[in-house]
Amino acid sequence: MRYPSTIAALLAALFIGACATGHVHRADAGPVDCAVVKCVALTFDDGPSPYTDRLLRVLNDADARATFFLIGNKVAADPARAKRIADAGMEIGSHTWEHPNMTTIPAADVPAQFARANDAIASATGVTPRLWRPPGGLTDDAVNAQAAEFGLAAILWDVIPFDWINDADTAATRYMLMTQIKPGSVVLFHDTYSSTVDLVYQFLPVLKANGYHMVSVSELLGPRAAGSVYGSRDNGPPVNELHDIPAADIPALPATPSPPPMPNFPITDIAGANSGGPNNGA
């Protein structure tokens, strides 16, 4: 049967309209009530990186929202990429200006770590962060008091699959996701690894098959008080809540370009938690 011409014209107009809205496909999963449905907040630290754009496509294709905790000096070096994260509908938080251990740098240097990151992120994206993630998950009362001055609430995590350690062994990271994610989990990833993007691409179908909605931290937790801290540096206990899906339902990895990671900047970093990866971006 044929559509009446008026309906066909309307559909054509809608189609053209959808195509004309621009090349950026936003994650418009719509509002969800995480008290009613299962939600998980995927978070990505240490970017933006050369892998971020592929991750944005992966997330948007799955109608998944996520939260990106950006390092200020990387944003300043690549503001356009940071803006694409915001344009894709993702939430943006601060991961400080240069990823130091905030609890051991001189107290006088703490405010600038917040201020410079906020300025770089706001300048690039138009969004002033309300959330921050302490580098290495390390913070204390004095640092939290400073964060409050900048209107920032700290977000740690419930699930830490060690994607930076398991870079070459995504099965190990996947095992931790399978055994630890539960409704309301905040999961820590890093979009500085091509392998992490691969893992997320192949794991989103598992989360969907388990009825999960992928939401931002703010969608999951609601407003957070400035200076507060959510979560912990530790893993939660295994819950084994997820069921796996048939291997045939997991998409094969396409041939993906693997540009080298952005070199790290000279920073006061945390041993073993280098924001440029174990080889410092080399």
Footprint of Ni ion (CB under 5 A):
45-46, 135
Instruction: Considering the candidates 46, 99, 163, 190, report the single residue annotated as catalytic.
Output: 190
Q: Considering beta carbons, is residue 103 or 210 the nearer one to Ni ion?
A: 103
3-state secondary structure of 128: coil
Q: Considering beta carbons, is residue 34 or 137 the nearer one to Ni ion?
A: 137
Instruction: Considering the candidates 45, 78, 163, 167, report the single residue annotated as catalytic.
Output: 45
Q: Considering beta carbons, is residue 46 or 78 the nearer one to Ni ion?
A: 46
Residue 277: closest CA among 269, 137, 203:
269
Q: How far is the CB of 185 from Ni ion (least distance, A)?
A: 19
Q: Considering beta carbons, is residue 45 or 167 the nearer one to Ni ion?
A: 45
Query: Which residue blocks in 23-66 are alpha helix, DSSP H?
Result: 52-61
Q: What is the DSSP code string of 181-239?
A: --TTEEEEEETT-HHHHHHHHHHHHHHHHTTEEEE-HHHHH----TT-EESBSSPPPP-
State yes or no: is 53 an active-site residue: no
For β-strands 38-47 and 91-94, DSSP reports them as: unpaired
State yes or no: is 61 an active-site residue: no
133 in Cβ contact with 92 (< 8 Å): no
User: Tokens for 98?
Assistant: 């240069």
Q: Which residue is nearest to Ni ion (CB)?
A: 45
Dihedral pair phi/psi, residue 220, rounded to 5° = -75, -45
Q: Considering beta carbons, is residue 50 or 206 the nearer one to Ni ion?
A: 50
The one-letter code for the residue type at 259 is P
35 in Cβ contact with 11 (< 8 Å): no
Q: How far is the CB of 80 from Ni ion (least distance, A)?
A: 22
Q: How far is the CB of 93 from Ni ion (least distance, A)?
A: 11
Q: How far is the CB of 53 from Ni ion (least distance, A)?
A: 19
Q: How far is the CB of 95 from Ni ion (least distance, A)?
A: 6
Report the catalytic residues.
Answer: 45, 190
